[in-house]
Amino acid sequence: MKPEVLQRKYSLLHSTIPEHAELVRLNNTYPRYRDIAAKVLLLVGKEIEPSNPGGFASTKLSPQLQDVTYTRFPRLDHLGPEKSPEEVAQVAAQFLAM
């Protein structure tokens, strides 16, 4: 990894612990999302098993949302927006244009 990329990632580490604590706090609160009436775009990457193509997004969150579009990026991982911003932006732009 390039030194400048590594440095950028290190600079973001301080925010990851509070972020993960919030995820734990909100775990199993999926029914709270039922009232969201806006269109929602869920994006997942290659870590999601093809036999369960959306992981938590499709099995827990998607059923709670009123209007959800689900997109899987089979070649991208969690850092997909950094690694292939054009690919992710194209999907987001198409969604926003609907």
Say what the pLDDT of residue 38 is.
94
Mean pLDDT of the chain: 84
Is residue 86's pLDDT more than 90?
yes
Task: Determine contact, residues 64/33, Cβ cutoff 8 Å.
Answer: yes
Q: Kindly report, residue by residue over 37-82, the tens digit of the pLDDT.
A: 999 998 888 876 655 655 666 677 788 889 988 888 889 987 888 8
Domain residue spans of the chain: 3-97
Question: For the chain, give me the number of helices (H) and strands (E)?
Answer: 4, 2
Span between the terminal Cα atoms of the chain, in Å: 37
pTM to 2 decimal places = 0.69
